[in-house]
Structure 1
Amino acid sequence: MRAPRVVVAGSANMDLVATAPVLPRPGETVLGRDFAMVPGGKGANQAIAAARAGGSCAFLGAIGSDSFGVTLKARLAASGVDSAHARVVYGASGVALVVVDGEGENSIVVTPGANAAFTSLTEAELATVRGADVLVAQLEIPVETVTEAALAARAAGVRVLLNAAPARTVPTELLDAVDLLVVNEGEARTISGRGRDHPEALLSLVPRAVVTLGDQGAWYCDRDGTVVRVPAFKVDTVDSTAAGDAFTGALAVAWGEGRELVDAVRWACAAGAACVRRLGASVSLPQRAEIDTIFGTPA
């Protein structure tokens, strides 16, 4: 089987990750345990996740001219992602400050840095989008860039998967170009005004949607009347930081391979479960064999 061509248009950040017994409250200082610098960003994470899940993946985005940028591009290349079109812009790369507590929950602050300069796609970038089987995008880069990429993909017959994260209002023009929307419960409420128990609110905006529920699995629904709860796979959680990115990257690959979407969502849940067993973002994204192993176990 030919590996599906997945193009990810999104962010790349250096994640500065600290672990602590609890997440700090406003005004509180908490004594931490460990610290690590891990290449991340939703776009880069999802590109690496797709490549490790068996996709042929290209990344479109912007990194800074600092040392973080050098590391980010090297991590993409080492993970099998085509980063030839990743722009290098003068200044700082994006940075995410991540705190992970003893239960694997996290709190994240992202400063966009170079990601904010990823605007107005070049013809070479647009050609890359048009050559994809699936375009994956998020909302950590300018929404105008996401819309431009999605419209180019739609015009070329390329399927568009939008992970509408972080939560923000999404323009109608962009939603009209989306084939599959992936959101968590908070993002679902921001976009539709209603939660996971009201799939019709999302389906008034897009033809297909997935609502991720963390350790409770996911909902899948579409305009053909399908509404399915997909249970999570039970594993010991160490860090949930990149679980959603593992899910989205694997989902894009499975969809590109031609799997039925309910089955693709279940495989993506296995990818998320494999991810949370390790600390960090890009370093925790699972290989295809790990996903298949968990996928073959009862949920």
Structure 2
Amino acid sequence: MTLHRPSCFISTGSVLIDLPLHVTRIPAPGGAITGTSSGPAVGGGYTVVSAVARQGLPAALAATLGTGPNSALVRQAMRLDHVELLVEELVGDIGTCTTLIEPSGRRTFVTTEGVEAEPQREDLERIDLMAGDWVYATGYDLAHPTSCPVLVEWLLSMPSEAGFVMDLGPVQPDISDAILMPLLRRCTLLTGNDLEMTRLASRLGGPDALRRACPEALVVRRTGFRGCVLWPSDGGSIEVPGFVRTVVDTTGAGDTHTGVLVVGLMDGLEPMMAARRANAAAAEAVARMGPAQAPRREEIDALLALA
């Protein structure tokens, strides 16, 4: 008898250690300012996979970790969230991301690089994808000169039955057409914030060109406290209202939205209902300090019940 495992969400997004600094303003060049630190936190590609795990679905990380103290922090978080690591570690350590957070919630990043930029093709090849699985990739890794070739080749070789969600982020202009266009055609879900999606549509020649570039994808435009706009492959755009919360830290809100949205789709919800849960999760996440602060399924249920 053949045993079938449950469907799984697999993130290829590089994991970093976030070093958040709350500042009153960004200093001028050559200037100085005092910031307030909440201490190191596991961030980067971990936020989206932890958001999925906290909904009770199988979640796994296919991003490279190392042998150093930063990677040890990630493994500790994975144990707490019950996230599985699917690839082998490398000697060395993952990098950091220093985030300057202004009172408005706007963020400025300074990133250092480590072994997270060195995915191994043989590790990815050993991942046994099946129908119902979802694979996640970020623009940061697709724009990076060492991770891009390995990831793109593997992503484009995935079985068609596996879902593929892509968040290009602010580095979309750094990804060449030769890489971007095949990935868009393969995409099942394309997500980005309002500015990022506007820039992508402009690059491609307008909204209709964007639709032609990813004909099978559910396109999601995240619009902050207003919620999001869905554009299914078989219909027009649908606005899904958001939830207003006091903003403490917007770090990871987009990844939280993406993770919870994919969980809804994996649960069999219609896109609008999945997006409503994602909007609630993102609203709750921005009211908390730190990157990987996705609420659990029962917390989302409670927020929706109040609404």
**Structure 2 counterpart SS, 1:174:** helix
Two-structure CA RMSD over aligned residues (Å): 2.3
**Structure 2 counterpart SS, 1:62:** coil
Match of 1:204 among 209, 212, 217: 212
How far apart are 1:124 and its partner, in Å? Answer: 5.4
Could you tell me how far apart the structure 1 residues matched to 2:131 and 2:153 are? 15
How far apart are 1:201 and its partner, in Å? Answer: 3.6
Q: 2:54 maps to what in 1?
A: 52
Alignment of 1:152-191 (within 5 A): 152-153=157-158, 155-168=159-172, 169=175, 171-191=180-200
Cα 1:78/1:23, change in 2 over 3 Å: same
Normalised TM-score (structure 1): 0.88
Match of 2:300 among 279, 284, 291: 291
Q: Is the 8 A contact 1:194 1:201 kept in 2?
A: no
Residue type matched to 1:225 in 2?
G
Q: 2:263 maps to what in 1?
A: 253
Alignment of 1:1-299 (within 5 A): 4-41=7-44, 43-83=45-85, 85-122=86-123, 125-127=126-128, 129-130=129-130, 133-141=133-141, 142-153=147-158, 155-168=159-172, 169=175, 171-193=180-202, 199-206=207-214, 207=216, 208-282=218-292, 284-298=293-307
Segments of 5+ residues of structure 1 without an aligned counterpart are none
**Number of residue pairs the alignment of both structures matches:** 290
Segments of 5+ residues of structure 2 without an aligned counterpart are 142-146
Could you tell me how far apart the structure 1 residues matched to 2:272 and 2:60 are? 25
Could you tell me how far apart the structure 2 residues matched to 1:164 and 1:175 are? 10
Q: Is the 8 A contact 1:130 1:152 kept in 2?
A: no
How far apart are 1:4 and its partner, in Å? Answer: 4.5
Deviations 1:57-105 (A, max 9, x none): 111011222210111122112211112x243222231211111122332
Could you tell me how far apart the structure 2 residues matched to 1:211 and 1:145 are? 28
Could you tell me how far apart the structure 2 residues matched to 1:28 and 1:258 are? 52
Cα 1:17/1:135, change in 2 over 3 Å: same
Cα 1:150/1:124, change in 2 over 3 Å: closer
Normalised TM-score (structure 2): 0.86
Could you tell me how far apart the structure 2 residues matched to 1:123 and 1:63 are? 14
How far apart are 1:110 and its partner, in Å? Answer: 2.5
Cα 1:259/1:118, change in 2 over 3 Å: same
How far apart are 1:257 and its partner, in Å? Answer: 0.8
Q: Is the 8 A contact 1:121 1:149 kept in 2?
A: no
Deviations 1:151-172 (A, max 9, x none): 243x251111111224323521
Q: Is the 8 A contact 1:180 1:209 kept in 2?
A: yes
Q: Is the 8 A contact 2:119 2:151 kept in 1?
A: no
How far apart are 1:144 and its partner, in Å? Answer: 3.0
Q: 2:144 maps to what in 1?
A: none
Could you tell me how far apart the structure 2 residues matched to 1:167 and 1:138 are? 9
